[in-house]
Chains A and B, each alone.
Chain A
Amino acid sequence: MRSRALVPWLWLLPAGCLLVPFFVLPLAVTFRNSFWRDDDSGVAVPAFTFANYARVLGDPYYLQVFGNTLWIALLIAALALAIAFPFAWLLARLTGRAQALVFWVVYLPLYVSVVMRAFGWIVILADSGVVNQALLAMGLIRQPIRILFEVEGMVIGMLHRYLPLMIVPLVTALRKLDPSLLRASANLGAGHWYTWRRVVVPAALPGIVAGTQLVFSGVLSDYVTPSLMGASGYQLVAPAIYYEAATNSAWALAGAMATLTLALVSLLLVVANALLRRFAPWAATL
């Protein structure tokens, strides 16, 4: 009986060998190093100081970076939710071939290199790109409007990158909704909006939460889209972490920024699940 109790742990051994040294420990070391001190020679030396945090939380530049990132993450999550919800509702009610085809298109971006997707947007949004050509030809504008290398262009690129991550969990949640509930609601005299508010949205809640979490952690660690499509004056946290580490050799400072990023994502996870358990206990995942 004692040896039987070991069986699950044997199955877990490969995952443990991967996760402990290459996931758990790196996060722990990042946390530890965030209290170290950056030497002038470009190495982090052991210490215990809150100086890095004081600098990140006290310097307007770094605050701006975190503020920008949170704002963009919120914006992308809200836009993605607003766009994805009606779409997911339609997709969840489609059947057979039509559903398979639409699903295929939703997954398509996930199978295409993110650099190629950015390339496509560059062609579309550039000053001499598709959008500007069309607007100029229609006489709506006299000068090309600058979209690429501005916040707007970056938001479009990110929305494209993260929209499928909102659509898929939403569809998954909505497909579990029993259609007879909708009939019941209508039969009991509920109007269209009332049914939406009391039946459809509650059923979608787990998907909304999962999608928002995916979008948030995506935006927070997105290096590519801001680098290829963003404005140089509008820094986000992922490129900023890389810059501090690789270019400035401010390793401990980068560690503090990374720890704060991690804290933000964890906070979102915890808060979202606490809210779910309070207001929608049927949807709580943690």
Chain B
Amino acid sequence: MKPQFGVAERFHAAAVLLFLVAPILVAMIVAFSSGNRLDFPPPGLSLRWFGVALGNELFIDGLLVSLVLAAASAVLATIAGTGAALAINHHRFRGRSLVQAAVMLPIAMPTIVLGLGLLFTLSIYDMQPGLLPTILGHAVLGLPYVVAMVTAALASYDTSLERASLNLGAGPARTFLRVTLPLIGNGVVAGGVSAFMISLDNISLSLFISKGDTLPLRLMQQLQSYADPSVAAIATVVVGLSAAGFLLSLAWGARRRRLVEPAPPGAAAGRPPAESKEATA
């Protein structure tokens, strides 16, 4: 039976899609404005606001800080999350369901509360607000997304391959690197990408434990004090960078799929973050 879509249903869907895309499209167009203000449609097109944005040291510093922060926290989240997903899915142990709930909890907890709590806790570790605590905090936020996506990849994973490898004399480390990791690679990459994006866009946590020097914080300050199209321009640059990264991860995923057939269905690289509910629901 081919699904049928009513007129009202199509109209509603089109309206929702327009609503989702509109502000992003408008912001991108204003980034190319030649005018001085936030007029839409812009009086003309130019790249002047990209020049202004790329010449703004606060933005460039912020972008570098944010990229380092996102990369470092994504690596931490990926290592910790992959390990946790393997433990939960491949082993039966006491307290397993509790552990499972605990690693997913950072998604459900309000980030602003964790931010305040981390600030309280930093003095216990003799730390000051700055890059290191922000990396660790963001890694906590990324962790559940990695767990969810690696879990999805593990759903189609055959543990007998692992046993075969061990029986054939490969050590546990070799088995993990040559058998397990290639098979769940797509899920690991997708989780890492999600953790990266979560960190790149975070404000509620950085607000408390960074030095206020991440790009989203700087953009927010700029928008609150003086809104000009340079904010949209630098944000458009970031969108371009993430699009490039996303395409790279897709290409990587495609290469993996050719190497490892059949492809795990739930583990397409670049699965966006919110998909994680699939694993928790």
Chain B residues whose CB sits within 8 angstroms of the CB of A109 once the complex forms:
20, 24
| Bound CA span A165–B198, Å | 14
Flag whether A189 is at the interface (Cβ < 8 A): no
Contact B223 A172 (CB under 8 A): no
B244 to chain A, nearest CB (A): 12
The residue that A30 contacts in the complex, of B22, B116, B203, B235, with Cβ under 8 A, is B116
Count residues on chain B whose CB falls below 8 Å from chain A CBs.
95
Residues of B within 8 A of A110 (CB): 197, 272-274
Known contacts A107-B274, A110-B273, A115-B220; is-contact A23 B140 (Cβ 8 Å) = yes
Please indicate the chain A residues that have their CB under 8 angstroms from the CB of B117 in the complex: 25-30, 258
Decide if A245 touches B272 in the complex (CB within 8 Å): no
Partner of B220, one of A107, A211, A228: A228
Residues of B within 8 A of A285 (CB): 280-281
A interface: dominant SS: helix
Report B192 CB to chain A, min CB distance, Å: 14
Q: How far is the CA of A228 from the CA of B223 in the complex (A)?
A: 8
* Main DSSP-derived SS at the B contact region: helix
Q: Is the CB–CB distance between A210 and B120 below 8 Å? A: no
11 A–B pairs (Cβ distance < 8 Å), ordered by A: A12-B84, A18-B136, A86-B13, A111-B197, A116-B231, A163-B19, A163-B20, A172-B275, A172-B278, A206-B281, A262-B110
Residues on B close to A: CB < 8 A? 1, 3, 5, 9-10, 12-13, 16-17, 19-27, 30, 38-40, 76-77, 79-81, 83-84, 86-88, 90-91, 93, 96, 99, 101-103, 105-114, 116-121, 124-125, 136-137, 139-140, 143, 147, 197, 200-201, 203-204, 207-208, 215-216, 219-220, 223-224, 227, 231-232, 235-236, 238-239, 242-243, 246, 272-275, 277-278, 280-281
Q: Which residues of A contact B (CB under 8 A)?
A: 5, 7-9, 11-15, 17-19, 21-23, 25-30, 33, 83-84, 86-87, 89-91, 93-94, 102, 105-124, 126, 128-130, 160, 163-165, 168-169, 172-173, 179, 183, 206-207, 210-211, 213-214, 217, 220-224, 227-228, 237-238, 241-242, 245-246, 251, 254-255, 258-259, 261-262, 265, 269, 285-286
